Amino acid sequence: MAKSIDVSDVNIYYGDFLAVEGVNMTIRAKSVTAFIGPSGCGKSTVLRSLNRMHEVIPGARVEGKIVVDGQDLYAPEVDPVAVRRQVGMVFQRPNPFPTMSIYENVISGLRLNSKRMNKSTADGVVEKSLRGANLWNEVKDRLNKPGAGLSGGQQQRLCIARAIAVQPDVLLMDEPCSALDPISTSAIEDLIHELKSDYTIVIVTHNMQQAARVSDETGFFNLKATGEPGRLVEFNPTKKMFSNPDESATEAYISGRFG
């Protein structure tokens, strides 16, 4: 089930360095939210705070509240591993496990989470996930071949299949198309559009046209100067953001006068 995410008063540190300050937003369920803004303003840092990936860096921490389905992800009793299952992630460079087959790649998250699964259940999950990632028809006759043998765009869809196989509520995508050619990019954008009927999706993109094409809502992040913390300047429906933003800094950024 797709879930909304409530972010309140979030500050994010790398050691003593306050990288992002005072983030408040509500990410709607079953919608696509894009994070845009100049490099270094904290988009990826905020994204990684949404599934507790940020804190795997030594000294890194998050202050504030991030609530999914009534549960603060940072409450002391919450297991970060369970959070990462609930909130899946797809990275900039497709990263299938190179020595594993396509089949094993898709099922790998489930094998970790539940040791025993019979063959027909596993087959069902693999087919459903690959269909969900619009990859089934291209790979159904070579499921036992290595994932590394696929094209970049296919590998990225394989990573999306792997992420959805564990049935997360939320999918985070950190510049998922930046290593892909335009045709593969377009396939991923179509897929994002389809996936939002089942998942809450948050995507970081440096490509404003992509944000405008795929997202329902957009967050614009910015920072005053290097060394200053990044801030969420504006969060609005994408249509409004790109036609009539509330903030002059957003207007300057999207019109290309800055960043």
Could you give the CA distance from residue 124 to residue 187 in angstroms, rounded to a whole number? 23
CB of 233 to ligand ADP, least distance (A): 12
CB of 59 to ligand ADP, least distance (A): 8
CB of 175 to ligand ADP, least distance (A): 8
Which positions from 28 to 47 touch ligand ADP by CB under 6 A, shown as an x/- string?
---------x-xxxxxxx--
Is 19 among the residues that bind ligand ADP (CB under 6 A)?
yes
Q: Which is nearer to ligand ADP, 132 or 230 (CB)?
A: 230
Would you state the structure tokens that stand for residue 142, as one six-digit string? 């070579």
Q: For residues 212-251, which are near ligand ADP according to CB under 6 A?
A: 230
Could you give the CA distance from residue 241 to residue 212 in angstroms, rounded to a whole number? 9
Q: Which is nearer to ligand ADP, 13 or 103 (CB)?
A: 13
Contacts of 56 (CB under 8 A, 6+ apart): none
CB of 162 to ligand ADP, least distance (A): 23
Could you give the CA distance from residue 117 to residue 126 in angstroms, rounded to a whole number? 12
Could you give the CA distance from residue 257 to residue 259 in angstroms, rounded to a whole number? 7
Q: Which is nearer to ligand ADP, 120 or 226 (CB)?
A: 226
Is 14 among the residues that bind ligand ADP (CB under 6 A)?
yes
Among 1, 56, 57, 81, binds ligand ADP (CB under 6 A): 57
Checking 242-245 for CB contacts under 8 A at 24+ apart, the result is 242/208, 242/212, 242/218, 245/220
Q: Residue 223 to residues 37, 167, 190, 220: CA-CA distances in angstroms?
A: 9, 35, 32, 10
Contacts to ligand ADP by CB under 6 A: 14, 17, 19, 37, 39-45, 57, 230
